[in-house]
Homo-oligomer: A and B are copies of this chain.
Amino acid sequence: MNKEIDDKLKLKNIKPTAMRQLVLEVLLQHKTAISLPELEQKFEKADKSTLYRTLKTFQEKQLIHAVEDGTGSLRYAVCDDFCTCEPKDLHVHFLCIKCNKTYCLHDIPVPEIELPEGFTFENANFVIKGICKKCNF
């Protein structure tokens, strides 16, 4: 099997079943974040709930992160190798309103915000909507 894939699974302590290898392969190939329904379409016959649980496992083990891009379905993208999904690892996402793809802007961290007194920070979801490079030309 593909070395990179098995390495990534091992790195995050995920047992490398056939299903998981396939799913991770699709996730890695896909340049933009992908939703469960989209993932389903990539497979001829895989079961929805299996895919669902595979994504959940990946997410728990911090192999992937979820983006709430407001399209009505959560989208997932592979984390950087040493991401622990903590505040410092958070980045901005971009949803193209034309092609409906969601990009990870890995280089753009979510800006720190000074919250009102008494409010404490746990997590953040920052999605910018607009037109992506491809659709702009």
Contact = CB atoms under 8 A, between A and B. Distances in A.
A127 B125 CA distance: 5
- Quickly give the copy total for this chain: 2
Contacts of A137: 118
Interface in A110-137: 111, 113-133, 136-137
Contacts of A128: 113, 115, 121, 123-124
A19 to B, nearest CB: 26
A36 interface: no
A105 interface: yes
A76 interface: no
Given A125-B70, A125-B126, A131 B111 contact: no
Interface of A: 68-70, 92, 94, 97, 105, 107-108, 111, 113-133, 136-137
